[in-house]
Amino acid sequence: MTTHAIPKAAAFGQPKTGFRIPYLPVGSVLGPAEVEAVTDVATSGRTLSAGPWRERFESDFRDHVGAPHALSVTSGTVALELAIHLLDLRPGDEVVVTPQTYQASAQPLLQYPDVRVRFCDVDRDTLNMDPACLQTLLGERTRAVILVHYGGLPAPMREITAMARARGAVVIEDAAHALGSVYHGRRPGSLADIGCFSFHTSKNITTLGEGGMLTFFDDAYRTRVERLRGNEVDADYVPRAERLVGADEEVPGGLYPGDSLTHDCVTLRRPGTNATLSEAASAVGVVQLRSLEAMVERRRAIAARLREVLEKFGDVVAFPEESPGVRQSHHLFTFFVRRPGVLDRNRLLRELTDRGVQVPVRYFPLHLMPEWRARGHRRGECPVAERLWFTEQVNLPCHPGLSDEQVELLCSLLFESVRATLRRS
């Protein structure tokens, strides 16, 4: 077995932010193997658009996830858009979504003003969709459930898929955080009907900064996704030039011979959009996927160090825990302040920020965003998600872009910040 080194973040220049410990990797997160792959593509004399690298990346990804189909696109957002498109939603349909996620999980639903979106509250211990709440929201009209594996901790898929199946609803996993996670011997992206992944710079692997993937089981989805994402020649769509001209129509100068007209017709008859992942991006994806395990281990090691520091403060804090058979990728490191009277969360965020640690709280409850409020959503709709975001949740930087020195610095700054907050709370 070959071992793959973790690409050194900032190998090509030091990160530049105002923070000593940036929340996300800054600058290049690619190593020499990725650079070599790009050079390979650039000098191969083959296409730079879709070609053998994309095929290879998709087949490696399919094998990794364990789903029969994997089709790449240009971002996680596009993956979700296409997944939602596949639902063929009609007026009156309902879709259940978690509010505790990046906005792209639900945003495509804004295109369907007559579809009712129901935000499902989260489990206070994990930030994942709460099956008990889901049960109350599922009904005759539920067409789909869209969930996220928050921070890479797999959601309770056995419960969720059983409930959804009983209603005939499609389950979409937003697995953007969960590449490298494990759920009872299987991988997120193969746990329901459709999986959506992101390869943005910040994610567990990246394809040159942007990219995405759909994984799914239904063969019929394959043709549809291929047509939606691509501007390649699609055999079913090749119209014969003659067919575009009625038998009784007069063509000035007559039809000119050869393929040329047919080809023009084909390229003009794209059924979807163009979301083709380029060869260079795909080649980087192939290399990154090989380093996935090492990069996830690095995330987990950083998380373990942070947890060690926080456990010194006992039951003032709590962590999203892995249940038996479950492994989280630690796309995020999250903890909860469980005794707000003893440790004030907002004060802690201030202390951390003052010491140069960047601590955004991931994620602002979606139903309270202006675009969702405009559709009638309100405070109180998901009380747990709201309480956690406003008073309990903390996310710390946790990514392979941090050097050992930065991790140790983060640990001391964290310890000092909690101590300072305890004193003043």
Taking the complex as a whole, how short is the minimal distance between the CB of residue 248 and ligand PLP, in angstroms? 50
**Strand 69-73, strand 393-396: pairing:** unpaired
Which residues form the interface with ligand PLP (CB under 6 A)?
A: 75-77, 101-102, 104-105, 148, 174, 176-177, 198, 200, 212
Q: Least distance (Å) from ligand PLP to the CB of residue 226?
A: 20
| Nearest alpha-carbon partner for 277 in 8, 82, 4 | 82
Q: Which is nearer to ligand PLP, 93 or 174 (CB)?
A: 174
**Minimal CB distance to ligand PLP: which residue?**
76
Distance CA 400, CA 397 (A): 10
Residue among 53 and 363 whose Cβ is closer to ligand PLP: 363
DSSP string, 186-218: B-TTSSSSEEEEE--TTSSS-STT--EEEEES-
- Crossing angle, helix 404-424 and helix 345-354, to 10 degrees? 130
Shortest Cβ distance from residue 36 to ligand PLP (Å)? 24
Under 8 Å CB-to-CB from 274, ≥6 apart: which residues?
A: 229, 230, 231
Closest approach of ligand PLP to the CB of residue 149, in Å: 8
**CB of residue 177 vs ligand PLP: minimum separation in angstroms?**
6
144 or 310, CB closer to ligand PLP?
144
Cβ distance 396 to 409 under 8 Å?
A: no
The distance of closest approach from Cβ of residue 336 to ligand PLP in the complex, given in angstroms and rounded to an integer, is 19
Tell me which amino acid residue 232 is: E
- Here the tokens at position 101 are 């996620």
d(CA 72, CA 82): 11
DSSP label at 129?
B
What is the DSSP code (8-state) at residue 14?
-
At closest approach, how far in Å is the CB of 101 from ligand PLP? 5
CB of 200 to ligand PLP, least distance (A): 4
Between residues 31 and 195, which has the closer beta carbon with respect to ligand PLP? Answer: 195
State which residue, 105 or 161, has the beta carbon closest to ligand PLP.
105
At its nearest, how many Å lie between ligand PLP and the CB of residue 143? Answer: 20
Separation CA 414–CA 130 (nearest Å): 30
The answer for residues whose C-beta is within 8 angstroms of residue 126's C-beta and 6 or more apart is: 150, 153, 155, 320, 321
Rounded CA-CA distance 153/147 in Å is 12
Nearer to ligand PLP, 29 or 317 (CB): 29
In the complex with ligand PLP, which residue's Cβ is closer, 198 or 417? Answer: 198
Cβ proximity to ligand PLP, 241 vs 295, nearer residue = 295
Residue 94 is encoded by which pair of tokens?
């309902």
Name the residue nearer to ligand PLP (CB basis): 57 or 102. 102
Q: Name the burial class of residue 321, with classes exposed (0-12), middle (13-18) and buried (19+) by CB atoms within 10 angstroms of its CB.
A: exposed
